[in-house]
Structure 1
Amino acid sequence: MLLGHAFGLFTHPDDEWASIRKEHETPTRVYVTYVLLLAAIAPICAYVSTAYFGWTVGSDRIIKLTEISAIQLSVLTYLAMLVGVFALGYAINWMARTYGAREEHNAANGIALAAYSCTPLFLAGFALLYPVPWFNALVFLGAACYGAWLMYDGLPIVMQIPKERAVMYGGALLTVALVILVSTRVGSVLLWNFGFGPVFVSG
């Protein structure tokens, strides 16, 4: 089962990457049985925490989002995550030939590498149930660092390239990931201008 890889990537990542390479699942199957499920963790937890728990501003004032606003932002976040994983996966495949790997017509290895590398970020979504900004920032920073290391570790195994080429390949992919992140931030601002911004209420 593909979800079994989530645990293996934290305990024995090299063996897990080799297993992922051997399975060579289609992008559709990886998305349906892995990405769609795990990517939903953060939006669901964010909805619950922002609509029902709220967070403290100052000494005792609790701020929440309206349920409609929380749902809108959670759905948009979910869609952004799905698009981001897809875009990163295709970037991995598109750059494969440059770094000595084989480019595939369906980007199976690229999508798998992107999806499984994002596992720490998906699971970090549980931290949103405790809506304290500094805590969430630390958890997601740690998850992003481990996700980047997973991608670097998996590149030579999944894409079958020499380890020394993985450094340059990983650096290029990090740049792509940052561009995707900035694009989602810009998209968020644009959507807020069209009425999808957060609506706050005092708890």
Structure 2
Amino acid sequence: MRILSHTLGIFTHPDQEWRAIRDDRHSFVQVFLSHVPILALIPCISGFIGVTLIGFPVGNHWVKLTVASAAALAIITYISMLVGVYLFGEFINWMASTYQVKGDEPARHYAGTALAVFVTTPIFLVGFVGLYPNLWLNAAVTLLAACYSIYLIYEGIPILMNLNKDQAFMYATSVVTVGLVMLVTVRIGSVLLWGLGVGPVYQN
């Protein structure tokens, strides 16, 4: 329960919460598995309900996806999110030596994983908006969540990594760049999967 409390704290008092996260020093398994598999369900289940029960406009028509099609897309999305957060954390860990982050390997690895887990939390939580799958509404809310995630990166790195402002700024900028590249890669991967037939099937 102590780990789960960080999810709320990262919104209400991020500075204080980053220090608490740094001092906890949980293992990778604890910090990753206690958050990501649970939070990643929010956008997947919400999206599944939205596209099968409520529907969305395509041209002049209001359409819904079949249950099988929506379930397949939800499962693919869920797995992609788990893998994406894990790889994001590994990239952060890999860059730690470049920016001269001090501490032993377990401490650095925990810090990188914790950063990846908690900065993606806002994006997972706003997944509830998928219950109403309006393109512009979903895009606007996700953009706001992404902006807050970027803020958390710049706020959290100097605390978690014990870096001065200049080092922390460069490190954070690199992390944001990696995150954006990964997001684009996931989008391209989705398009490729659709081209291979793993795409939406509309209800009659």
Shorter-chain TM-score category?
over 0.9
Of 187, 197, 200, the residue aligned with 1:198 is 200
Matches within 5 A, 1:48-197: 48-58=49-59, 61-102=61-102, 104=105, 107-197=109-199
Q: Deviations over 1:110-131 (max 9, x none)?
A: 0111100111101010111111
Matched residue of 1:200: which SS? coil
Q: Would the aligned equivalents of 1:93 and 1:104 in 2 still touch at CA under 8 Å? A: no
Moved more, 24-33 or 41-50: 24-33
Partners of 1:129 and 1:99 in 2: CA distance: 41
Query: How much does 1:58 deviate?
Result: 5.0
Partners of 2:59 and 2:189 in 1: CA distance: 30
Q: Structure 1 counterpart of 2:174, which letter?
A: A
Q: Structure 2 counterpart of 1:135, which letter?
A: L
Query: How much does 1:62 deviate?
Result: 1.6
Q: Structure 1 counterpart of 2:93, which letter?
A: N
| Aligned equivalent of 2:6 | 5
Q: Deviations over 1:65-86 (max 9, x none)?
A: 1111101111111111111111
Partners of 1:104 and 1:66 in 2: CA distance: 47
Q: Percent identity?
A: 46
Q: Deviations over 1:29-53 (max 9, x none)?
A: 1222111101110001000001111
Runs (4+) of structure 1 exceeding 6 A deviation are: none
Moved more, 145-154 or 180-189: 180-189
Root-mean-square deviation (Å) = 1.5
Query: How much does 1:194 deviate?
Result: 2.7
Query: How much does 1:100 deviate?
Result: 2.2
Partners of 1:107 and 1:195 in 2: CA distance: 38
State the aligned residue count: 201
TM-score, reference length from structure 1: 0.93
Partners of 2:136 and 2:169 in 1: CA distance: 31
TM-score, reference length from structure 2: 0.93
Partners of 1:94 and 1:104 in 2: CA distance: 11
Query: How much does 1:104 deviate?
Result: 2.3
